[in-house]
């Protein structure tokens, strides 16, 4: 992407910081004491360039991107600037920050996985939240070629018993998904019957091709086959839409309706669920992250934990946390993904002054497909989407609060 376009996008985001409309003041009976934000990285370019499996599955040529595949786009940076500024407004409104001041190390701690798109996401979010505060420290592993165990959900058990159980759960899940209509829609969109796969290799029906579970020690789980192919193709279409490609270029203009998106998104969501969220697998692979969360959200708040923590990972971070912790199922209005690009799980420690009790509230904060595509600025009056989540073993009240002590029981049982 040309430098002038990058500057224009980021300047637009930064200029909007001064254009605010504030919402009503919160209930003064509750005091916000701690916030932990677990974020998926922001808008990136898809991994279509040179990918033979994607090239051979359609007669159409994949659109060129100005950004390198897998890297945050300039628009992705601008969207995170908007989100960061919105969070600052919300935190100021709830008394955790002072307006127009830079946070101390005790107030704000940002840490990301070592992938370029996660580092960039956290940096842009931080810039939006604290413009002009160039002394804020941003943290990640020093070895950029390594694997951060907090974010990398690797297989550490390849015993026959464990592998057999995991494979059975994944295969059973896929069998129950009834994906035939979604595969058929994808084949229509990509014109699969005229692809190299069909004409040369005689693979003409995705639904009839096998999926193979791959579990290798030290690597993340994966699935070879049509579901993985569908995941990457639908992912690419969504990213084209978020980036703002003309409608005639998004999936070559062959996605015609919201229902088409819903039908196709089922494939992407199913792959994430199958490959990363099945119980025997997820309860073990996400444990380092859960242990980290348990440590930074202790029984009693202390000065050792920052009041505001940002952790930036992937959909394979956010999804496993939600599944392993036992959150009830949820719906995200105005989105097709279960773990949207740039979406954030926001753990909040509130203190009820009347009962002198700490409470937990968890929300999914994310941008709708429209907000992403249109690069809409976010303010308290025009906020991102917010959905309250609930834990099965931490009953919430009408305001979305559950007892912090019950939450800690859930966490301690998971990590001990």
Residue-wise pLDDT for 354-387, tens only, equals: 999 999 999 999 999 999 999 999 999 999 999 9
Q: Determine the Cα angle at 224 with ends 220 and 229, to 5°.
A: 105
pLDDT score of 20: 43
For residue 10, what pLDDT is reported? 61
pLDDT confidence of residue 231: 98
State what percent of residues in the chain have pLDDT above 90. 89
pLDDT at residue 362, as a whole number: 98
- Using CA atoms in the order 43, 48, 51, 57, what is the torsion angle rounded to 10 degrees? 130
Give Cβ neighbours of residue 293 (< 8 Å, ≥ 6 apart): 36, 38, 321, 347, 411
Name the active-site residue from 89, 197, 315, 358: 315
**Number of continuous H segments (helices) and E segments (strands) in the chain:** 14, 10
Same fold, 14-45+72-153+286-415 and 160-282: yes
By percentage, how much of the chain surpasses pLDDT 70?
A: 94
pLDDT in tens, 110-154: 999 999 999 999 999 999 999 999 999 999 999 888 899 999 999
Please state which of the ranges 3-12, 89-98, 336-345 shows the lowest mean pLDDT: 3-12
Q: Strand pairing of 357-366 and 344-352?
A: antiparallel
Q: Give the per-residue pLDDT at 305.
A: 87
CA dihedral of residues 267, 269, 275, 277 (deg, nearest 10): -150
Residue 217 known to be catalytic: no
pLDDT of residue 1: 42
**Radius of gyration (Cα) for the chain, nearest Å?**
22
Identify whether 329 is a catalytic site residue: no
What secondary structure letter does DSSP report for 394? B
When pLDDT is cut at 50, 70 and 90, the band that residue 100 belongs to is very high
Residue 12's pLDDT is 53
Q: What digits encode the pLDDT tens for the residues 230-260?
A: 999 999 999 999 999 999 999 999 999 999 9
Q: How far is CA 318 from CA 42, 273, 374, 414, in A?
A: 13, 12, 25, 16
Backbone torsions φ then ψ of 21, nearest 5 degrees:
-130, 120
pLDDT in tens, 379-410: 999 999 999 999 999 999 999 999 999 999 99
CATH top-level class for 14-45+72-153+286-415?
Answer: alpha beta
Domain 160-282 sits in which CATH superfamily? Answer: Phosphoglycerate mutase-like (3.40.50.1240)
Burial 252-274 (b: 16+ CB within 10 A, else e): bebbeeeebbebbbbbbbbbbbb
Distance CA 221, CA 157 (A): 11
Mean pLDDT of 292-310: 93
Quick count: other Cβ atoms within 10 Å of Cβ 164? Answer: 11
- Give me the phi and psi of 143, to 5 degrees please: -85, 100
The confidence score (pLDDT) of residue 8 equals 54
CA-to-CA distance for 288 and 285, rounded, in angstroms?
A: 7
Q: What integer pLDDT is reported at residue 14 of this predicted model?
A: 56
Q: Which of 41, 85, 228, 314 is catalytic?
A: 41
Task: Please name which of 168, 174, 76, 175 lies closest in space to residue 125, comparing C-alpha atoms.
Answer: 76
pLDDT tens sequence across 53-79: 999 999 999 999 999 999 999 999 999
What is the dihedral sign for C-alpha 162, 164, 167, 169?
negative
User: Residue ranges of the domains in the chain?
Assistant: 14-45+72-153+286-415, 160-282
């Amino acid at each position: 992407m040309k430098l002038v376009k990058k500057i224009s996008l980021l300047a637009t985001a930064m200029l909007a910081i001064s254009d605010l409309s504030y919402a009503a003041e919160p209930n003064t009976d509750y005091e916000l004491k701690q916030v932990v934000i677990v974020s998926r990285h922001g808008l990136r370019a898809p991994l279509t360039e040179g990918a033979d499996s994607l090239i051979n599955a359609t007669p159409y040529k994949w659109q060129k991107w100005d950004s390198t595949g897998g890297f945050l786009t300039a628009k992705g940076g601008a969207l995170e600037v908007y989100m960061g500024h919105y969070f600052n407004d919300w935190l100021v409104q709830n008394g955790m920050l002072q307006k127009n001041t830079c946070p101390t190390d005790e107030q704000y701690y940002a840490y990301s996985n070592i992938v370029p798109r996660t580092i960039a996401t956290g940096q842009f979010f931080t810039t939006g939240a604290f413009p002009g505060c160039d002394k804020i420290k941003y943290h990640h592993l020093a070895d950029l070629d390594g694997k951060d165990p907090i974010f990398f959900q690797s297989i550490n058990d390849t015993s026959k018993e464990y592998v057999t159980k995991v494979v059975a759960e994944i295969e059973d899940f896929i069998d129950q998904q009834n994906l035939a209509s979604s595969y058929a829609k994808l084949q229509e969109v990509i014109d699969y019957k005229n692809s190299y796969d069909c004409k040369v290799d005689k693979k003409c029906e995705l639904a009839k091709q096998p999926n193979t579970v791959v579990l290798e020690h030290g690597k993340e789980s994966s699935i070879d086959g049509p579901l993985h192919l569908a995941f990457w193709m639908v992912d690419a279409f969504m990213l084209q839409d978020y980036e703002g490609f003309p409608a005639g270029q998004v999936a070559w203009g062959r996605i015609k309706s919201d229902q088409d998106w819903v039908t196709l998104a089922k494939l992407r969501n199913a792959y994430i669920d199958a490959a990363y969220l099945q119980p025997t697998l997820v309860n073990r692979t996400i444990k380092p992250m859960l242990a980290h969360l348990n440590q930074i959200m202790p029984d009693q708040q202390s000065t050792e934990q920052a009041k505001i923590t940002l952790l930036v990972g992937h959909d394979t971070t956010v999804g496993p946390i939600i599944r392993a912790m036992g959150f009830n199922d949820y719906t995200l209005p105005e989105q097709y993904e279960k773990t949207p690009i740039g979406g954030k799980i926001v753990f909040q420690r509130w203190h009820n002054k009347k009962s002198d009790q700490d409470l937990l509230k968890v929300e999914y904060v994310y941008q709708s497909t429209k907000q992403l595509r249109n690069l809409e600025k976010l303010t308290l009056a025009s906020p991102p989407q917010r959905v309250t989540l609930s834990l099965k073993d931490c009953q919430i009240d009408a305001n979305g609060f559950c007892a912090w002590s019950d939450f800690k029981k859930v966490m301690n049982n998971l990590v001990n």
